[in-house]
Structure 1
Amino acid sequence: MVESNPTVPFRSIQEQVLTRLQVGVSINKVQRAKATATKQVSGDYTKQYEVLRDYLMELQATNVGTTVKLEVVNEPNSTRETRQFKRVYICLGALKKGFNAGLRDILGLDGAFMKGPFPGQVLTAVGLDSNNGIYPLAYAIVETENMSRAGSDILLNNLCEVFNSKLIHGRNKPIISCLEYIRQYLMRRICNVKKVMSKAPGPLTPTTSKLTERNKEASVQYRARWNGTAKYEVYGPWHDQHVVDMTNMSCTCRRWELNGIPCRHAIATIHEMADSGDKFRELYTYVNKVCWLQTWNEAYSYTVDPIKGRSMWPKSTCPFQLTPPPHHNIPGRPKTKRKRSVDEKYDKQMQNHGAGKPEKLTRKFVSVRCGKCNNRGHNSRTCKGQGGNVESNEGGNAGSSQGGNA
């Protein structure tokens, strides 16, 4: 049930158990059962880091030209046999070749928060294809957005919003399951675009054909005057007058240069050339090759290859075992209230006690033990998966060491 519908409500599971098995169970037991089933279906959050290197090796072996970069946390103790995960970057070889074949050198960068015990962010780099659709190029899982990936002062995240909306159900999965969710979506998307592409009449992409037809309808209201060279003066309603240069394939309205599609002024000029008996080509040849159906086909001619099961993955020879990343506070809205010291809290408590309004005692110096990871310094409600990151010290030392690691 959980495998077919991961978002199935607890009440629905409770009712189906009662209907099928004639057994009444509490909602708490249903929550624990669903958590166990989800762990079996999606995988363990901690153990998937141990085989992450194997997954990346399988990905590079099956998809030629794939770029993978794995970074771990710096460890001052070189004799330690474990390394904590920090970030991973993946650019599939098929997407790399398709992006170069698409002839549109523009990228949008954006990030989306991950869910689960190890918070982080999924960063995506998305381009545009010949049909003005998204073309995902690369993706990465990092600890947070920072300035160590920044190579430009321009962030075009509008391109990535559509792609990020497709990854909502994958951001709450363990790291390998999340990466596989993204890869499988990219593999399916290329197939879906090919189906749409096979129905396109050409020679332009469907979106380009619609825009060209719209400009052709508007061009009937314009007239062009030749100046004896390759330049034309085009005028129309509302004192709309521009200069079209057929040699440089440009217009002073700049629409032809921006989107690569002849504007209404350029199409009116082509009609004038046809009426005057001048040499002219078919209309689609004046469109930038980026918008041709042939270019769209070349961009999606490279496919993402499937990979084998986990039991057949190559084994990494790295002597260090990869562990989950260290816990850190995700960025958010800063606090507006000043933190009071212990003396200030004690003075206010005494004032309230004297006025007959006792205040709840603080638990600052009380050591609690978590019921999930069995470590001191936090409870099960605030547990962030610090199972291998915080040592079990006595008293308040665990809380201080946890804060230092964060």
Structure 2
Amino acid sequence: MSDEASFQIKSLKPVHKCARNYKLGSMVTYAWIGSHYTREFLLRQKMSVRKLRTAVSQKFGIHVSVGQCRRAKKYELQLIDGTIVEHYAKLWSYAEEIRRSNLGSTVKLDVNHMPDGKNYFSKFYVCFDALKKGWKEGCRKIIGLDGCFLKGICKGELLCVVGKDENNGIYPIAWAVVCVENKENWRWFLDLLIDDLGLNLGYGYSVISNQHKGWIEAVKELLPYVEHRQCAKHISQNLRKRYSGAQYESIFWKACKATTEVDFKVAMKELEVLDPSAHQYLMDKDPKTWSRAYFQPGRCCDVVENGMLESFNAVIVDARKKPIITMLEELRMYMMERGLRHYQVLPSGLNQFEVRGTTDAYEVDLEERTCSCKLWQLNGVGCVHSVAAISFMNRDVESYVDKMFSSITYMKAYKFRLAPMNGSNLWPATGYSPPLPPVHRTMPRRPATKRKRDTTETPNQSSKKSKITTQTQNKGKEQVKGVAKALNQDDEGNQSNAVNDGGAVNDGGEAVNELHVQQDYDEVELTPLELDALANGEPSQVHVQEQEARETPLATLLKKIRRKKSERIIKLKLGKKVSGADALGNSEAKPVTLE
């Protein structure tokens, strides 16, 4: 009824003999589909569109389109995560909630003020108090900095700083969301990070990076005394692009992992003998930033690759596809869960003695905890020489372990807890104007959602698209061959030299070509001027007219075949004119008169 929440049946057929109709998908809306699968999306936000389509067909017996399922998934995810405008509007309240629940945490939100009075998002930085205290008391004095792009509806870059704990695990310290990765944003990020970690000017600390141009300039200005390490993997990939060969890469890693200057120079001398230009290329990269032989001791870390950042990016790859607050919350919850895991201290030992090998000898001082190979001073764990000496002296290995690797120091990194937070409905209200999403930056080409693979990386197996392309190309080649073969045969299947390039048809049904294109080139009469022009590489009038007459796609397919055939015949005719030889090369034959 129109004024009631009910309906009235006017006609009823209790017995139905017709088959069930599955083509009722057009009557279904995407909102109706999404409302029936809210629980599934809460449990599995990665549910594919095709799986959703199959589930609807099996549950309700109707066929819906892929577009309906795609819109239903998007609609339901927006209900779960909130729209993009709502997310950015809640950033002020989210920052205030972090400060309230985690006292001492640093949260910074920057917006761009427009002349029309609107505020657009610019940057968001967060460093929890528990993480910065844990890094100061229980992690090594080395950090890695890198940026990765966001893959979801929120565009921009995620800047991260990751440390290394005593168990060689990654220790995320702070992160920031910016619109673009450049020098200005890196400088803003480092300014806040230096204040949180107390890095001063970089004395006694090391930083490893992937050589982003804006990042390098910002570090030189703000941390002039920090030890800068380059990622050896990126240098190796660039070296492979310029100088292909396994020997180049082998020598590079030998020089990279050399712990003494003598071993480094031996490896570089080997490279100089192999290729002086490759040697100069690596020397221009400043070996003090990528070789262990020049690393400063006291960091208890001898890594030459930025693997801790790559590992962290792999952990948060799914979070980077979500709206900004959902992504930030997943990062926070990841660190909360990580602090509750049970960790074991990695046992290791140090050395003090003189240890001789088959061809070399090293001096070890147990009291000073040093070894002339420098490996002990670099990683704080020890080397094979120290283990041999401790075994010889029958001493306790743990007594020589650096305090950085003790369980007490290890637990200091995780003794500070991240306080729980209220939901968005209980976040405190602020007097700030809610920011709008950042101004859309129109980029060329289709937006990329996958990381661009380096040319030196091993590609994945051939995709379905490439296989289809190959099959299509092969099928096209077979069709061209079939057409060419058919054109060289008459109706009875016999070989024929007559080819009709789209000529006219007379009343009797016979093909007519005004330019006599269907004739064989042996029957074409050429004037001496035309022969001279062809000998000089100029096309004749007959060939120019013939080329202009070719308008059908069929003639285009035979272009290469006709060209090769014409060249062969012209050579034969020129040979007759010059030497007086026949087509078989017999000199006794009389010269051919071309007039």
CA-to-partner distance for each residue in 1:206-242, whole Å, 9 max, x for gaps?
xx31x54xx8xxx9xxxxxxxxxxx843213x22311
Matches within 5 A, 1:287-326: 287-318=401-432, 320-326=433-439
| More deviation, 21-30/131-140 | 21-30
- Code of the residue aligned with 1:64 in structure 2: it is L
Q: What residue in structure 1 maps to residue 389 of structure 2?
A: 269
Q: Which runs of 5+ in 2 are unaligned?
A: 1-39, 187-214, 221-227, 232-305, 453-549, 553-595
- Code of the residue aligned with 1:100 in structure 2: it is K
Query: Structure 1 segments of 4 or more deviating over 4 A?
Result: 152-156, 271-274, 329-333
Matches within 5 A, 1:344-383: none
* CA spacing shift, 1:243–1:329, aligned 2, 3 Å: farther
- Code of the residue aligned with 1:115 in structure 2: it is K
The yes-or-no answer on 1:170 pairing with 2:319 is yes
The yes-or-no answer on 1:47 pairing with 2:83 is no
The yes-or-no answer on 1:143 pairing with 2:264 is no
Contact 1:108 1:155 in 2 (8 A): no
Q: CA deviation at 1:23?
A: 2.6
| More deviation, 50-59/323-332 | 323-332
Structure 2 Cα separation of the partners of residues 166 and 293 of structure 1? 26
Question: What is the TM-score when the length of structure 1 is the normalising length?
Answer: 0.68
What SS does the corresponding residue of 2:141 show, helix, strand or coil?
A: coil
Matches within 5 A, 1:158-307: 158-192=307-341, 196-197=342-343, 200=344, 205=345, 208-209=346-347, 211-212=348-349, 232-236=353-357, 238-273=358-393, 282-307=396-421
- Code of the residue aligned with 2:68 in structure 1: it is K
* CA spacing shift, 1:98–1:246, aligned 2, 3 Å: same
Q: What residue in structure 2 maps to residue 368 of structure 1?
A: none
Contact 2:139 2:164 in 1 (8 A): no
What SS does the corresponding residue of 1:55 show, helix, strand or coil?
A: helix
Q: CA deviation at 1:132?
A: 0.6
What SS does the corresponding residue of 1:168 show, helix, strand or coil?
A: coil
Q: What residue in structure 1 maps to residue 157 of structure 2?
A: 121
CA-to-partner distance for each residue in 1:365-393, whole Å, 9 max, x for gaps?
xxxxxxxxxxxxxxxxxxxxxxxxxxxxx
Matches within 5 A, 1:17-56: 17-56=56-95
Structure 1 Cα separation of the partners of residues 81 and 360 of structure 2? 61
Q: What residue in structure 1 maps to residue 102 of structure 2?
A: 63
* CA spacing shift, 1:13–1:103, aligned 2, 3 Å: closer
What SS does the corresponding residue of 2:87 show, helix, strand or coil?
A: helix
- Code of the residue aligned with 1:87 in structure 2: it is K
Contact 1:98 1:301 in 2 (8 A): yes
CA-to-partner distance for each residue in 1:266-306, whole Å, 9 max, x for gaps?
233345555xxxxx7x3212221111121111111112222
Question: What is the TM-score when the length of structure 2 is the normalising length?
Answer: 0.47
Q: Which runs of 5+ in 1 are unaligned?
A: 220-230, 275-279, 334-354, 358-406
Q: CA deviation at 1:81?
A: 3.7
Q: How large is the Cα RMSD of the aligned pairs?
A: 2.5
Q: What is the aligned-residue identity percentage? A: 33
- Code of the residue aligned with 1:321 in structure 2: it is P
Matches within 5 A, 1:92-107: 92-107=128-143
Structure 2 Cα separation of the partners of residues 172 and 115 of structure 1? 5
Q: CA deviation at 1:356?
A: 8.4
- Indicate the structure with greater helix content: 2
Q: CA deviation at 1:175?
A: 0.9
Higher relative contact order (CA 8 A, sep 6+): 1
* CA spacing shift, 1:273–1:117, aligned 2, 3 Å: closer
Q: What residue in structure 2 maps to residue 84 of structure 1?
A: 120
Structure 1 Cα separation of the partners of residues 137 and 321 of structure 2? 34
Structure 2 Cα separation of the partners of residues 122 and 103 of structure 1? 23
* CA spacing shift, 1:103–1:171, aligned 2, 3 Å: closer
Structure 2 Cα separation of the partners of residues 263 and 322 of structure 1? 55
The yes-or-no answer on 1:111 pairing with 2:260 is no
Q: CA deviation at 1:154?
A: 4.4
| More deviation, 304-313/15-24 | 15-24
Number of aligned residue pairs: 297
Q: CA deviation at 1:265?
A: 2.1
Contact 2:112 2:119 in 1 (8 A): yes
